[in-house]
Structure formats: C-alpha cells, structure tokens
Amino acid sequence: MPVTAISTPGPFRVLVVEDDERSGRMLAGLLRRDGFTVDVCLGGLAGLQHLAEGPAPDVLVTDLRMPQIDGITVARLARTHCPTLPIVIVTAYPDLANRLDGAEPMPQLFIKPLDYSALVGALRDLERSA
Amino acid sequence: MATAVPDTETRFAELKRYVEFSAEDAALLAGFRTTAEPHFERIAQEFYDQIRLHEEAHAVFTGEAQIARLQRSLVRWLERVFGGTYNEAYFAETTAIGRVHVKVGLPQRYMFTAMALIRLSLMEIAEASGPHGTRVSRAICRIIDLELATMLESYRDDSISRIQHVERLEKEALGRDLAKTQHRYVNAVELARVLIVGLDDTGVIRLFNREAERVTGHGRDEVLGLELLTALGIDPDGDGAGVDALLRSFRSPAPDGAASDGSPLETTIRTRAGHPRVIRWHFTHAPADGDDVSVFALGLDSTDERATADRVKQQERLAAIGTLAAGLAHEIRNPLNGAQLHVTYLDMALRDIDASADLLDTVHVVRDEIRRLGGLVSEFLDFARPRPLQIKPVVIQEVLARTVQMVTSQAQTREVTLTLDAPPADIELQADRAKLEQVFLNLAQNAVDALASGGRVVLRARRQPRTVTVEVEDDGPGIPSGTPIFDAFFSTKSHGTGLGLSITHRIVTDHGGSIDVETAPGRTLFRVVLPVAGPQTQSQPIPGVNDDD
C-alpha cells in the first residue's frame, strides 16, 4: 500500500467537533474508553482553532449544523492541512453533507441518533488502514 | 270598392288620345296611300344609305343581307302605316316591332333619327301632293308619333323587366348573404366550447347550444321552454338567488343603471345523470326587436378548475405543515443523539459492574426505542421532504435482483420462498433507481412480513409497449377490505411507522406510474405500472419543502 500520509506513531487520534456539550463530552468519553486518543471541541470555532494550533488528528469526527462555524467549514480547513484526512460526519441534517460532494476521500456519514458501535467499527477500519 | 272605377281605356287608346290621332287622320292616311306607295322603295333605300354613312349606326348591322331584309321590312312597315286601320291588332304589331328593336339592342336615339328621316321624306311627298298636303302631313306626323310612342313603350317595358330582374338577383344575393351569415352564427354558437343559453324576458330557455347539451347531458328538446334554474337543477335559495336577482334587474333596471352584467356568477348545476358540475356564467342583457331571446348566459365548466384549485390549496397547506414538521423532525435527532450516547455509556458501565440481565434489558429497551424514533424521523422526512427524482436509464431486472438480495436473509429467517420472475431480455426504463429500489424493497418486505413460515413471495416483471409492470404477490392472509393502506401513519405492524406504503405510493406517482392492490385471503398482489419514458413532467418540488435549510 502506498503511504501518502505520514502515519503518526502512537495512539490513533480522533478530533470530535460537536456543539452540543453533553453529547460531545459523552462521545469523547466513550471513544476514550474504547482506547482512542480524543480531542473534543465544542463548536466549529473551537474546531478551527484546534486544527490551527493543536496536535494534528488522524480522523475528524464532526457535526455539521453548528452556530457560527459549521462542520463543512471545519472539514474544508482540515483538508487544507491534510488533504487525505479521513472525515466522519455525524449529523441530524444529512442533506447538508452534499456540500462536500466530490471531496476525496469521501467523508463517511452517520445520522443522529448515532449508532455508536457502527462509528467505532468505522474508526477501527480507518485506524487499521492508516 | 265603390269610389274608383278602373279606367277601361287601353294603352293604345290612351296613346292615340295623347298624340291627338283622330279618325280623320286615319282616313287621310288611307287616302294618301296610293300617292305615297310608289315612293316606299326609294325611302327605304335612302334611309339605309343614310345609315351606312354613320359608322356607329352602321356597326349595329351584321351585313348587307340583313340590311336588304330590313329594307323590305321598312317597306312593309310603310304599307302598314298607310293601311287605314289602327286598332288593337295594329298596336300589337307595332309593339312586336318595338320588341324586336329592343331585342337587337337598337339604341333609342337611332329610332328617333330614323323616324325623323322617314317623316321628312313622307312630308315632302305630302306637301307636294296638292291642297290637302298640310293636313296629310299632320296626319303623318301623328301616326309616326304614335308609332314612336308605342315602340318606346316596348323599351319602357323592357327596362322595367330588366330592373325587376336585377332586383330579383339582388334579392337572391341578399338571401344568400343572409343564409351565409345565419350559417356562420349558428356554427359559432353550436361549435363554441362555451355553454350558450338564451333566455327570454321571463327567464325561460329559448336557446341551448351543443356545449350546453354536452356539459349538462340535457337535450335541447328537454330544456327549451323551461326556466333556467329548474332546467339545470340550480338551487333557487343558494346559487340560484344571485341568478334570479340578476335576471330581475335586467327586466326592470334600477334607475341608477345598476343592472350589472360584469362579474361572473358561479352556480352548481345538476347534470341529467344527477352529477353536480360547477359552471361560471356571464349574463348579458341584449334585448332586440323581433327576438324573444333577451338574455345570453355564457357558461364555462369550471368544475375541474375548482378541483385543481382545491388540490393546490390542500398541497400548499400540507407543504406548510410539512416544512414545520420536517424542521421539528430534524431537531428531534439532536436530543435523541444525546440520549443514545448516554444510554450507550450506561450499557457499558452496567456491563463493567456485571449488572443483572434485567437492568441490561431495560437499558436495551431504551436504546431500541431511541433507534426506532430515529428510524421514524428518517422515514417521516423522506415522506415530508422528498428529494427530486434522479432520472436515468434503469434496468428493472437489476433493481429486482437487488431487492431479492436485500430481503433474502429476512425471508430465510421466516422460511419464506422468494422467486424472481422476469424475462431474460433487459427491460429498461427512465427512473430514479434508488427510489425504485425503495419501492420494491418496501413491497417485498411487507409481503414477507405478512407470511407465516412456508409462504411464497413472487416478484414479477413484464414489459408492455409503453409501460413496465412489476407485481409483488404473496399467498398470505390478505388485507381486510377498506384498509387505508396507502394513508400516512396507518400501520398494522407493531413496529411499523405507517409511512412505507405512503412513500411507495408517492414515488410511483412521481414517476408518472400507478400502484394498485388486489387482495383476498390466500393472495395479495401489488401491481406497479411505470411509464418506460419516465415521468413526463418532473413533479415540481413544493416550494420550501425540498430544500434543506
């Protein structure tokens, strides 16, 4: 397999961007229990700041509809930093994701309420192929 | 009648009186004959010689043979003039000669000059004949005037008959014009796709055109002579009141001229078969002398129009509700998500402490219910905010093969046999593939769900010239009659949302197709018919509904 992204040594790092505080923290907690390294940003603006200043994620898990800065903007900025960054969208408004049509690799889409085990399965697949 | 006794004087007698031709004149002429007769040939000869000199007059004759013949006639005429007997028979002969002149088209002016020439010649002879010459000359003048007058009568009779002929022709032409005009108006009235009803002063129908017959189902023989409201079954206390008031205002217009015929009146009529139809009428008051029709009612059948308007209104109402509900449905997903994540945590934590199965089951019920609510939201959104169809060529066998594949495990669990019956040649149609998959998956799943173990489900596809028919048949218990299976939120399943068949129905109709069901205990068959060419007019997305945000 051709190595395009520089694989980060150490644990698989997940960036969760979710404006609902309780849901964001709970998702981060569950993922940590399952062994992932998780950074959680409450809202799009925090997500942008993290992408600019924080440690680079191996995957972005983001909500779409958020006040001020939406998930589409976050996803686009993430891709400017790392064009091959895997993106997972968790949203109540799946139709909004068509604004990312044509993005490669294609973001994976999960509709709320989230099927947590399906998300973990997808992240494990990404971790394996990273 | 006692007053005016008709004058019995003949035309000839009247002419004789007018030129003062007397019995003495007659005797003088008779006496002069022997003197004059030797000159007749010469007079005739000179007369026609004179004519030959006149180009235009000469042109009247066809040739020398004719002139010779006419010369002989002139001699005979001169002999007559001096015959001495001037009775009705004589008059008849002169009239006949006059008619010949008319017939050959001899201009009257030539007759005058001719007579003048002959008169001069004869007078010369008379003057030279002796003492009675002057008297004879006068007699000659009178007889020649008499001849002229008689012949002119022929011209007059001719022109009268010609005028009468022209009048007759004009009358006939006028009649033809009238018939043509009438024909045009009859056609215009009869062929118009507008109800045209003519009413007399009392509101009774006097004219009922073909469209009126077609729309109402009444023949004109059934309604002519009846009052409009009675004939068309218009409620006199409802719609009819307005019509009545208007007709009354036509009969006795208000002093301020308020007898308006401007705005249309809508009435519900009853057809001959008893069906209601909505007609929009325009009443026009157009009284005319000699016509019993004084009011014209022009009507348009607006039944369908109104139904369409009602449907559009209903659609708009549903769209507004749909937009509201869809917004709500989306937002429900967020709290559901929070709940689900927390329940997931609870589930894990309980496992970590080896909680009892009861506790775990309880948590799982909550988890499953949240999942179900999530599914309901998704289906509802699919129903309330359908996406526009993505029309592409689709091979129906491929769609059905995928359907079978997706239902197979479910069928195996329930020990149901699933069969695909489709012709080997590809059946291609213009459709939205994903939507069609949804349709047949839904129908196939319903069929499998309806069966006890050992049941059979057949998916069948057939091609017609312009359509594709897909049937989903099962040998289950059937659907009780009158079940509103296509209505939203109707479900007989404990876990159904009641939206599956509503969505199916909508997808099929959006494709310009139809879906129906035949059901009886032991056999239920859903039949979907889709046009090969795809939807003819892309169903317009309802504004504000299809667009997310």
3-state secondary structure of B144: helix
CATH classification at residue B483: 3.30.565.10
Q: Is the ipTM of this complex over 0.85?
A: yes
Q: Are residues B290 and B366 in the same domain?
A: no
B254 pLDDT band, cuts 50/70/90, is low
pLDDT on residue B474: 92
Nearest CA in chain A to B368: A115
pLDDT on residue B536: 77
3-state secondary structure of B499: coil
Nearest CA in chain A to B369: A113
Q: Supply the range of the domain harboring residue B497.
A: 392-531
Q: Using one digit for the tens of pLDDT, what is the confidence trace for A113-123? A: 999 999 999 99
Q: Which of B335, B365, B384 is the last residue of a domain?
A: B384
Mapped to the 3 state alphabet, what secondary structure does B12-75 carry?
A: HHHHHHHHCCCHHHHHHHHHHHHHHHHHHHHHHHHHHHHHHHCHHHHCCCCCHHHHHHHHHHHH
Mapped to the 3 state alphabet, what secondary structure does chain A carry?
A: CCCCCCCCCCCCEEEEECCCHHHHHHHHHHHHHCCCEEEEECCHHHHHHHHHHCCCCCEEEECCCCCCCCHHHHHHHHHHHCCCCCEEEEECCHHHHHHHCCCCCCCEEEECCCCHHHHHHHHHHHHHHC
A90-118 mean pLDDT? 89
DSSP B83: S
Tell me phi and psi for residue A90, to 5 degrees.
-125, 110
pLDDT on residue A86: 95
Task: Judge if pTM exceeds 0.90.
Answer: no
B450 pLDDT band, cuts 50/70/90, is confident
Rounded percentage of chain B residues whose pLDDT exceeds 70: 92
3-state secondary structure of B423: coil
B342 in contact with A, Cβ within 8 Å: yes
> Nearest CB to A30: which of B339, B344, B549?
B344
Q: Are residues B467 and B500 in the same domain?
A: yes
Q: Which residues pair with A90 in a beta bridge?
A: A110
Q: Give the whole-angstrom CA distance, residue B97 versus residue B91.
A: 10
> Nearest CB to B333: which of A95, A113, A115?
A113
Contacts of A120 in chain B (CB under 8 A): none
CATH classification at residue B148: 1.10.490.10
Q: Are residues B319 and B463 in the same domain?
A: no
Asked, as a colleague might, if the bond just before B131 is cis with ω within 30 of 0, I would say no
Q: Are residues B154 and B84 in the same domain?
A: yes
Q: Are residues B421 and B501 in the same domain?
A: yes
User: Would you list the domain boundaries of chain A?
Assistant: 13-129
| Higher per-residue confidence, A7 vs B109 | B109
CB pairs below 8 Å between A and B: how many? 58
> Nearest CB to A26: which of B341, B378, B548?
B341
pLDDT on residue B546: 41
| Higher per-residue confidence, B256 vs A60 | A60
Nearest CA in chain B to A97: B548
Q: Give the whole-angstrom CA distance, residue B395 versus residue B431.
A: 9
Q: Do A30 and B345 touch (CB under 8 A)?
A: yes
Q: Do B337 and A95 touch (CB under 8 A)?
A: no
Contacts of A93 in chain B (CB under 8 A): 330, 548-549
Q: Give the whole-angstrom CA distance, residue B78 versus residue B40.
A: 7
Q: Give the whole-angstrom CA distance, residue A121 versus residue A109.
A: 13
Q: At what angle do helices B133-191 and B88-104 cross, to 10 degrees?
A: 60
Q: Which residues pair with B132 in a beta bridge?
A: none
Q: Indicate whether B174 belongs to any domain.
A: no
Q: Give the whole-angstrom CA distance, residue A64 versus residue A44.
A: 9
Q: Domain count of chain B?
A: 4
B346 in contact with A, Cβ within 8 Å: no
Q: Are residues B26 and B160 in the same domain?
A: yes
Can you name the CATH fold of A13-129? Rossmann fold (3.40.50)
pLDDT on residue A117: 93
B339 in contact with A, Cβ within 8 Å: yes
Q: Tell me: pLDDT of B280 over 60.
A: yes
Nearest CA in chain A to B338: A23
> Nearest CB to B334: which of A26, A95, A112?
A112
